[in-house]
Structure formats: structure tokens, C-alpha cells
Chain A
Amino acid sequence: MSAHTYKKFENSTSGDLPDKMTIYQDCMNTFNESPVNSKRCRLLISRLLRLLAQGETFPQNEATALFFSISKLFQHQNDPLRQAVYLAIKELSGISEDVLMATSSIMKDVQNGSDLIKPDAIRSLTYVLDESTAFSAERLLKSAVVSRHPSISSAALCTSYHLLPISEVTIRRFTNETQEAVLDLKQFPNQHGNSEYYPNSTYISQYHALGLLYQLKKTDKMALLKLVRHFSENNSMKNQLAKVELVKIVNDLIYRDPQLFSQFRPLLSDWLSNKFESVQLETAKLITSFATRNSRLVAPELYAAAISALQSLLTVPRVSSRFAALRILNRISMVSPEKIVVCNPELESLINDSNRNISTYAITTLLKTGTSKNISSLISTITNFIHDVSDDFKIIIIDAVRTLSLNFPQEWKSILNFLIDVLKNSEGGFKFKNSIVEALIDIVSFVPQSKELALENLCDFIEDCEFNEILVRILHLLGKEGPSAPNPSLYVRHIYNRVVLENSIIRSAAVVALSKFALTKNDPTLYESIISLLKRIANDKDDEVRDRATIALEFIDSARNKDDVIAQNLIESKYFYDIPSLESKLSSYISSNTDSFATAFDVNQVRKFTEDEMKAINLKRKQEQIFNQKSETTLDTTPEAESVPEKRADANSFAGPNLDDHQEDLLATKYADELLSIEQIKPFGQLVNSSRAISLTEPEAEFVVRGVKHLFKDNVVLQFNITNTLTDIALDNVSVVCTPEISDEAELEELFTLQVDRLLPSEEAACYVAFKKLDEIVMEGFLNNLTFTTKEINPDTNEPFDGDEGFQDEYEIDSIFLNAGDYVKSSFTGNFSATFDELPCEEVAVFNIQEDLSIQEVVDKIILNSSCLPVESTQFAPSDSNSHTLKLFGKSALTGSKVALQIKMIKSSKGLALKVHGKGEDSLLCSDLVNGLMQ
């Protein structure tokens, strides 16, 4: 064999794997030999492992055969071979059946094996034990946990950790031993003075023990508190990971009960100056992410200390620490960029960091710290180096700039110039250019002032653009925005140039864009030109282009000369369908096919949005992308995220109004569909507005109730979604009794209540209460009482026992309020102050809030209550200032009349003073909204 081929086989990175079947046959032959040749077997196992590590796999029967042949190697007492056997068992346990056959042999090694193989044997127990056999390992594991040998103890702790879900009872029996193992500083046996053979102990068993202990005690808050207190004393934790774990446990505790934070304060500030960088990082992460949720509980000094710890970590030599610190700062920058401005000098120097990930993060973080003052200087910094970096990196920067443009619409000029410069002057692939164009499209739609300049430059750009997709997008944008621009004829020339010069895909897009200019009001003379252009295009050699031109001519003709509204709408769309609901309606239409599609699909069932509403939704969604990243942060800092994940959606936390809208949308569509399919509700007509689901009970109550308010033109329907969390009780005849709080003012007339006949354990069902409103806008609070009959469940049949009369019972749930905000939909305006000044009716109110709330909390509450869209990024209250102005814009859900609110807030020692200045087209709605804002 030549040296060349020999090397090729040995090289781990070479693509040549040993042949699978050869290895299989060799293994089967060699392992079944007697006596065992240990060297050869080890070599074969290592090849087998390499195959598996490369992603090769065996069918179950072959894997099982391999496993049994490997199990025969237990007859040979050779430690290195035994270690290889354990590795193979671990790998095969996933694909082979009957791995339990190795149990006795492994247990024997755990008991009598040498120190070298004991840890391996213990760890492989994880793979072979199941519910029925786990208890037999109890004594072995227990004595291994208390072993003086750190590797053995660690292995036993890890195995116990993994066995917890399999046999919790068994593992619980050595809680005490685990607790002792945390403080036991285990050293490797060193009696021969041969310190080169045994390394110094890292005390990793402390970490493993603490991890297991947390799992054992995680439901018991008091026990965890005691545990943290006990282990944080006297610097008893030597292992770095164990310390980090301790920080995570504290995080978990304060996550469950924020009030505990104050008692950990000294500990946390102590940890911020810990000698381990990872402990500092974890602590800083804890403090800063806790502060975004509970800003009042974190003292400014502690927060500043966390930031300065992060700041100093930005300059340490270790790359991973720099990266981690930067990552935390980046997350802070998404919610309160002003807090990390102090780190800007360090961040700026990191732009040139040799690690690409760090430099990318640095620049995007810097961009987020941008304020109206420093944006232009930041932009010029980026302009200097953006041409030198790779496409992926450029895209990240462009995305950051895009976020900036959404947050600082008033800075559109410098951002726009930057984007245009990059678009025209830099080299880059499709993805890069596309992201720039996307950013420009966002600016055009959300910052109307920028339209002319942006469109003009895009027109220049399409003269020389090599990407079909981008060209089509720009043409569409020109068609959409161009007709309403002051000088539409300018764009017509550019678009027509495309028709002359480009391929058929672009030509067809250009035809559609052109047709939209025919009806523009800004330049009536265009009509003739467009008609003649389209007529010329109607002779195009491509049939799609011809078709589009012909149909456009037809539409224009009927829209202009016959006042055909449908044709007008097709040329200039005034509204958009709610896509998720359109999709679900269409798919149910197709699947229900009752009369082989004789009745046409009724598109009027689908919710429609006007352009402003659509923009409001889009803007919300785009700003939310930032928040979703943020909520990830809060989740992944919680050790074992399973503890409390979903329920947070209900909590009116900071992320409340923004959390995962898409999910909410789907839910809302589902609720609306269910509601509208009810016979009694159908006469109410079109559903006007639905609120978000509001929790009316504690999430851990016996019956969890969520309420949704549905508004019709003359009716209100309250929906109560009830979940029965009991395991052995069924509820019969569940209904909700709603009593209006101010009952003598009979603005509402109760029509009917739809009850749930039977609610089995862990089921969810909805009951409805319908009212007729006598006024257009009715505001009312409802006291709610759940009434039901409880019946015990027969565990055999999962039905209540026969003849069980049950008990009549009541359960009081929180009140539900119908307020002015329920009559409002959020809507978008590009120029708030102009719109605000134009609106005719006016209402002013002053509130004083005595409760100790932060400005941000009040802002969140107002946004939620008013259901308006916060504009000009005023939904973020600066945390370093005592005053803030919130700007909200919305539309009446019933009539579509506009309403705008400007709310000034000043925080002082006495509380929070609010001055609400509302303007609107409808004086009643405006005053109701203003006066009902803080209910």
C-alpha cells in the first residue's frame, strides 16, 4: 500500500469512509471469535464509531446484531477495549433494539471495574436502563455519587440527571448525597505522586451535582432559596460552571417572583466582579434582562455596574467573552439603547475586530444606539467600511439601518442617501441588493416625505439593474406610489424605457405599473399618453405582455368612461384582504365542497383592511421582529425553559402589546370563525372588531378563563374560553352570568347566553353572552360569575358516574371592561403632527397616577387600552428621563373616523401626571377615548 492511499484512509477530514458493509461483516466475524483479540476489536470499533459519527446509520436489525456481537466482548477483561465497547453501546443504543441485555454486565463494571472504566460504565447506564430496571441501579448510583473520585461522581450525577425523566422516584432517593456532593471538593487520587498522570481536578462534579439538585428541587421555591444562600457562602463553589449555574438558579427564582430580586442584590453585585468572566457575563445578563421586565426593582447603580462589567469585558483577550458581552449589549440596545451609549468607544474599536462575528455585532449595536444626534456620524462611519466587507455582513448592516429608519423617521435623509449610495456604488449579489431595495421600500411607505427622492433614485437604478426580481419589485413600487407623487410623468418615462429594453417578465410588470398612472389626479394629461403607450404595447411579441396591456386598456376604459367601481379597484387597490383568514376560508371552502363549487366563494366573509390599516399592521410587525428577538433573550436565560414558557403571553409584561402577533392573528381568526358559525349570532351581521384574549383568572386557577370581546354594528358578544384544569371533575351546563356594573343605565340589553353542556378535564370550550347595544358607543364593565355543576369522573369510562346529580357551584372571575379602545383599530399616518392639527374635534384630560408605575409600564397600558398604533417610535419611553410624549393614531372600527392622541407624561415623586390631548373626526369617540384611557 502506498503512503498516499494509507494517509488518505487515515485522514479524518477526507471524504473516504470505510465501506459500511465491510465494517459490518468484519465486526460480526471478529467480535464473535473466541478468544477475543482485543487490539483488533478496538480498531474495528473505532472504525465503526467513525462511520456513525459521519452520519452513517444501520437498519435496525443490523444494528441489533452489531449490538449483540459487541456485548460478547464483555468476556474480555481489558480496560481500553471495555471503554471502546461503552462508546459503541452509547452510539448503538439509539438504533438498536434490546440494549437492556447489557445491563447486568455494565452494573458489574460499575461495582467491580477499575477507576478507568467505572465512569464510562456509569454513563452508559443512561442508555440501557428503563422505567422497570432503573430501580436496580439505585444502590450503585448512590455509592458512585459519594465516590471520592471526581470522574466517577460526575458520571453518576450526570446519569442520574438523565434518568430523572425515566425514574424520578429512584433518583429522588439520593437528594441528600447530591447535596453533599455539591460542597465536596473531590480530588483525583494522587497517592503515587504521579501528578502528570492525573490532572488537577476542575471540581466539575460540583456543577453536575448542582444541576441535578436544581432539577430535584425546582418546584420548591423555598428549597431553592435556601440552596442559593447555602452555596453562595464562603466561596464554596470552585467550579466556574457551577457558579454560572447558581446565577441561573437565581434568575429562575426572580423570574417566578420578581420581589425576590432585592434580597439577591448584594450577591449579584458581588458576582459582577467575580474572577470568572462567564460568571460576570451571566450575572450581567440576568440583571439587564430582568431590568427590561421589572425596571423599578433594579437600582440604577446595579444596572450601571452590570453595564460597566460588560464594557470591560469588551476589551478582554478571550474572543468568546467579547462576543458574549457584545451579544448582551446588543439585546439591551434593542429596547433601551441610551443605556449603553457609554460603551460606544469600545464598540467603535470593535468594528475592526479580526473576528467577523464580533465586528458585525459591534456595528449593528452601534447603529441601534443611534440617536437623532449621532445618526449622521454613524452613517458616515459605516459608509467608510461597508465596501470592504462581504455580502452577508453587508446585509446585516443594511437590516440594522432599516430598523434605524423605522425608529427615526425624521432622519430619513441621511439614511436614504446612504442606502442609495450603497445601492449604486457597491458590488454585491442579489440578496444584498434586494435587502437595500427592501429597506428603501420600507422608507417610502412609512416616511412619505422621502418618497420623491427615493423613487427618483430607484428610477435611476433600474436603468442599469441586472436582477429581474428586484426590477419587478421596483416597478411595482413605482406603480403603487408614483401616481400620487407630485410629478407622475417623470416615472412614466422610466417605466416605458423598461418596456422597450427589457425581457418579457419585466415588460409585463411594467405594463401593470404603467396602467396605474392612467387615472392619476395629479396629472390628468397622462391619460392620453398612457392609453397610446398601452395600445402600442398591445402588439408586443410576448402573449403575457399583450394580455396585460389589453386588459389594462379595458379596465381603464370602463373605470373612466363608465365609472365602474370594480375596474377602478382593480387598477388602484384601496384595500387588502386579511391573508391568514383568506387562506383558511379558501381551504375550508375547497375541503367542504358541498355542491361541487356551484356557489361561488364569498370573498366578503374575509376581513378587509384599508391601506392605512395595512401599513399599521406591517409597521407593528416589523418593529416586533426586534421584540421577538428580545423575548427569546428572556426565555433562554431561564434555566430549563420548560418551566413557564407560554403562559407569559397573558402577562401584561412589557412585551404584552407586541408579543407574537401572528399567533394572535391566527387565534383571532379562529375565534371569529367559530363565532360566526353560531346560528344565533348570524343575524348580527359583519364582525366589526375583536379584542385580544384577556386572562380573567390566575393562570394556575382550577378553571382558567380567557375573555374576548367581539363587536358588531348593534351588538356586543363576550366570549369566555374556559379550560377545566381539574383531572377528575367534569363540569356540566357551564355558563357565565354577566352583570353590567352600572345596571340602571340600560344601554345594553342582554339577548342570550350560550352555555357549554359538558366540559371534561383538560378540555377547553367557549361560552358566549350576547348583548344588544342601544347607543353607538357603549362603555361598560361586567362582573362575571362562572356557574356550573360539578360531577365526579369515573376513571374507567372517562364519563361522570351514572346518576350523579352533581353540585351546583359558582366561581367568580375578574371583570371584563368594554371601553372606548374596543371601538378603535390602529391605523398608520406618515405625518402625525400634520394629521393631528387637521382633525376638527378636540378633547383634553389630565390624569394623575398615584401608583408606583414606570413610564414604560403606563405607556404599555395605554397602548393596550386604546388599541391605537404608536407612531414615531414613541412606544419606547427613555429610561433616563422623567418625561415622555406618546403619540397614538387610530380609526373607529365602526365608522372609520380618524382619531389621534398625544399624551404627555411627567414623573415626579408624587406619581405620574398625564395630559391627554385627543383629536378626532368624531367628537364622541374622541372624548370617550380620552376620558376612558386610564380605566
Chain B
Amino acid sequence: MGNIFSSMFDKLWGSNKELRILILGLDGAGKTTILYRLQIGEVVTTKPTIGFNVETLSYKNLKLNVWDLGGQTSIRPYWRCYYADTAAVIFVVDSTDKDRMSTASKELHLMLQEEELQDAALLVFANKQDQPGALSASEVSKELNLVELKDRSWSIVASSAIKGEGITEGLDWLIDVIKEEQL
């Protein structure tokens, strides 16, 4: 009996299903740091990701399959190979990099037009808030033209992967939205 209950419970909360989450963004935004912040709770030294990193982590009874794809110009074309079955996209922006905000915006909107990502939720991290001269979350939101997004749950959270600020808040929001929309 217990088994039946637990499996019903699982179905209810979808914990036997893995949720695919992509972390995308320009190079040097802090995607890999965020991934390992989430997985092991520490800051690891990273080098530019050639390809991708993938980790499975449990968060609030959910199994998350988090893909961190490299952000270099040469690798961005391959993002689309990993869009299928994605529940959510975390888009990381370097808030201090004002020069490339427009590039980030372009990449973001291009990605969201993809058929396979129509149902995916979007969480934007305005990262590197610990750095001097970082734009605030609302400024980043403006730069990225987030208000234009229709028919999609999205949110922007100011974060600092190094200090661990904002990451869990952002993820909590994301999980809530996914549970609401998809389970």
C-alpha cells in the first residue's frame, strides 16, 4: 500500500521525471559558476566552456537536469541542438558588460523564437552584482527588452554567483512556475 501511495505521490509531484533546464548566456557571464553553485554550493574555478557541462541535482524533491552550454560565439549555434524537452531556460547576463547588452538581447530573443522553447519558462539572472558599476535588475531588464515578451512566464533576479546571492531566490521562482504550468 505504501508503495502505491508513494508512486501516486511521485506522479503528483513528478519527482520521477527529470526536468531539463538550460543555462544560456554570453561567454563569461557566469553560467558554469552558477551551475556548480547550485550543485555543490561552492565557487569553483572555471575556464571557458568548450561544449557543455551537465549536472543532475535534486532541488525541493525535484530532479533537475541542468545543462550549462558554452557561450562563446563559436558555440552559440549549437545551443539549438539541446532545446528539445526543455522546461525552463536560465539566461545569465553579465550586468557590468554594458557594451554587449545588445548582443545578449539579440541572442535571447532569437532563442525564444524557437518552436521547441515555446513552453519554457525564462529566468534571467542579472549576474555579477558584487562588481562595481553593475547595472541593476531593472536596468538590465530594460536593456534586454524583457517587457516585450508575451505568453511566457519570465522573471529577472539580481544575483551574484560568487557571493551566492539571488541564486536560490531565482530558482525558487522558477520551480514554482514549472510546477504550476507543467505538473
Contacts and interface: CB of A to CB of B under 8 A. Distances in A.
Nearest to B66: A75
Interface string A71-103: 110110100000000000000000000101111
B78 A34 contact: no
A100 B84 contact: no
Q: How large is the interface on A (under 10, 10 to 19, 20 to 34, 35 or more residues)?
A: 20 to 34
A104 B52 contact: yes
A68 B51 CA distance: 11
A34 B84 CA distance: 11
B103 interface: no
A108 interface: yes
A611 B118 CA distance: 86
A104 B65 contact: no
Given A32-B85, A34-B20, A75-B65, A103 B56 contact: no
Given A35-B18, A35-B63, A72-B82, 6 more contacts: A34-B18, A34-B20, A101-B51, A101-B75, A104-B49, A106-B51
Contact of B85 (A34, A68, A101, A104): A34
B50 interface: yes
Contacts of A68: 78, 81-82
Contacts of A105: 51-54
Q: Which 10 A-B pairs have the closest CB atoms?
A: A103-B50, A104-B51, A101-B51, A68-B81, A75-B54, A103-B51, A104-B49, A35-B18, A34-B18, A74-B54
Contacts of A680: none
22 contacts: A32-B84, A32-B85, A34-B17, A34-B85, A35-B16, A35-B17, A68-B78, A68-B81, A68-B82, A71-B51, A72-B54, A72-B82, A75-B54, A77-B56, A98-B78, A101-B50, A101-B75, A101-B81, A102-B51, A104-B50, A106-B51, A108-B53
Contacts of A102: 51
B78 A101 contact: yes
A133 interface: yes
A136 interface: yes
Interface residues of B, number: 23
B16 to A, nearest CB: 8
Nearest to B69: A101
Interface of B: 16-18, 20, 47-54, 56, 63, 65, 67, 70, 75, 78, 81-82, 84-85
Contacts of A133: 50
Interface in A122-151: 133, 136
Interface of A: 32, 34-35, 68, 71-72, 74-75, 77, 98, 100-106, 108, 133, 136
A100 to B, nearest CB: 6
Given A34-B18, A34-B20, A34-B65, A104 B53 contact: yes
A713 to B, nearest CB: 68
Given A32-B85, A34-B20, A35-B18, A100 B50 contact: yes
B13 to A, nearest CB: 16
Nearest to A33: B85
Residue from A34, A77, A106 whose CB has the most chain B CB atoms within 10 Å: A34
Contacts of B48: 136
Contacts of A35: 16-18, 63
Given A34-B85, A68-B81, A72-B82, A101 B52 contact: yes
Nearest to B74: A100
B65 A136 contact: no
A913 B68 CA distance: 84
A74 B75 CA distance: 18
A77 B54 CA distance: 10
Nearest to B16: A35
A108 B52 CA distance: 10
A106 B53 CA distance: 9
A14 to B, nearest CB: 36
